[in-house]
Amino acid sequence: MNAAYTGPLERLDNCRWRIPKSYKPQMRVDGIIYADDQLIESIKQDQSPEQVANVACLPGIVGASLAMPDIHWGYGFCIGGVAATDPENDGVISPGGVGYDINCGVRLVRTNLVQKDVQNRAEQIVNRMFEHVPCGVGVGGRIKFNRDELRQLLADGSKFVVDSGYGWKSDLDHTEAGGRLEHAQPDYVSKRAFERGSDQCGTLGSGNHFLEIQIVEEIADEEAAQAFGLSKGQVTVMIHSGSRGLGYQVCDDALKDLRNVPQKYGIDLPDRQLVCAPVNSDEGQRYLGAMQAAANFAWANRQIMTHLAREVFAEIFGQSAERLGMTLLYDVAHNIAKLEQHEVEGQRKTLCVHRKGATRAFPAGHPELHADYRPVGQPVLVPGDMGRSSWVLVGNAPAMEQTFGSCCHGAGRVMSRKAAIRAAKGRAIHRELLDRGVYARARGRTGLAEEQPEAYKDVSQVAEAVHNAGISRKVARLRPIGVIKG
C-alpha cells in the first residue's frame, strides 16, 4: 500500500496523465489521472496509480479508468476513482468501486446570516451542535425507526424522512436523484445491516465525517454564485456523512457473497479486492439493489442532520429556520454506482458509473438537473480540511465528454490516520485550529489528530486542477469557523 508507484505515466497535457493499456496485458482501456505537476508527484507516492491500471482490466469498462486529483489508495478502486461499464457488453459492478461507506456524501445549507452575526457565537453554535447532533464511533441517535419504518426509509430515502417532518419539500428538489434511487431493494439488505441502521439515521459517525460552520470568503464565478444563492460573507453549513453501519454491512455482505462469482463467470482479476459480478446477473442485481437501499439511507441520514442543524440555529438566533433562510443548496453522493445515460463512440448507452471518492458534475442543460440549476450546471461540493477551506464548483460540458460527468470529491489524504496521530504527538490540534480561527470539537480522543489539516492535500490546489482541466469550474471558496467531528 505504501510503496511508490513505478509504472508508466505519460503526460497528455497540463492536467492529465495516461497509464497506457499496454502496461498490463489484461488492461482493456487506458488509465487517465487528472493532476498538475505538483499533485502527480504526491500521487506517485502510493499504489493508487496501480489501482487505476487494475480497474482498467474490468470486463465491460468503456472510455478509460479515471482518477481525480484527490486520488489516494483505497480498497480495490483508488479513492478518487471513476469507471463506467456497459451492462449490455458484459459490464460488471464492483463493491470496491463504491466503497464501504455507501453514498458518503456532502450537503451545503445556505443561511441569511453573515459573518458579523456569528463571529462571536461560533463556540456557542459548535457546542450546541455537538450536544444536538449525535457523533462518534457506533453512536446512535434519539430518532429511531422500527423494522417496517426502516424498510420504507430504505425504499424512499429522503422523501420518507421529509414526509415524517424532518425537512422541507424543497430539500428533495436540491438533492441528487431527489434523495432516492427508485429501484432500491430493501429485501436484499441483511438482518444484521437492518440492526446496525436501526438507530443510526441522523448521526454523523466518525473518521473524516463532519458538520462545519463556514463563511463564503471568495466568489470566483458571479453568475453561478448568484444562481446558487451564494454571496461573499454569507454563513453556510456543510454536512459530510454517509450510510453509517448499515452501508458498511451491505458492502461487507456483498464482498463475501461475491467472493467466488468472478470465477463462475470466467472473470480474471488482477486484484482480489476488485471482486465483481456482471451488472445484469442475479448476483449483480442483488448487490445493486442493496447498495441503492443503503444510498437511500445515507440521503435520509444527511436530511435528518439538516433538520437538527436548523433546530440549533433557530434556538440560538431566536428565529425559525425559514426566517434564517436555511435552504439546501445541494446534496451530492461521492461513493456510489449509478445507471446513467452517456454517449460512447457516438452511441447513447446506459452505463453503470462507479464513483468512489468522486462527485457527479453534470453541466448546464442536463435533463437530470432541477430547473433552478439547469441554466448554469450542477453544484459540485468539495470539502477540504478543518483548517483551510472548501469549494463549491459547477459542472462543465467537458466532464460529459471526458469523465462521464464526474469530478473530484475532496482534498484527498496524504497521510494515513496512524501517521497523522504520530505527527500530532505533543501538539494540541484544537489550539492550532483556534489560532486559525476555527473552533473544533471531536468525540473521539484522536479525531482531531487524525483529521489535522496536514493530513490532507490543499483542496484549493485540487479545485484548481479540475478547473484548469475544464471538467468543473470554481464558484466559491468557503472558510471554516467551527466544526464538530466524531
Q: What is the DSSP letter of 204?
A: -
Phi, psi of 107 (to 5 degrees): -130, 150
**Cα separation of 408 and 343, whole Å?**
21
Query: How many other CB atoms are found less than 10 A from the CB of residue 147?
Result: 12
Phi, psi of 160 (to 5 degrees): -60, -45
Residues 466/424, Cβ–Cβ less than 8 Å: no
Residues 48/68, Cβ–Cβ less than 8 Å: no
Whether the CA torsion 122, 425, 450, 15 is positive or negative: it is positive
Residue identified by cell 484548481 is: 464
Residues 188/288, Cβ–Cβ less than 8 Å: no
Could you tell me whether strands 277-278 and 347-356 are parallel, antiparallel, or unpaired per DSSP bridges? unpaired
> Pick the catalytic residue: 209, 354, 366, 409?
409
Active site residue 409: yes
Residue (of 355, 467, 374, 402) closest to 106 by Cα position: 355
For every residue of 217-239, DSSP letters joined together read EEES-HHHHHHHT--TTEEEEEE
List helix spans (H) across 174-281: 191-197, 222-228, 244-257, 261-264
Q: Which helix (H) or strand (E) holds 298?
A: helix 282-317
Cell of 299: 440521503
Q: Is residue 165 exposed (0-12), middle (13-18) or buried (19+ Cβ within 10 Å)? A: exposed
Residues 6 or more apart in contact with residue 470 via CB below 8 angstroms: 396, 398, 399
| Active-site annotation, residues | 409
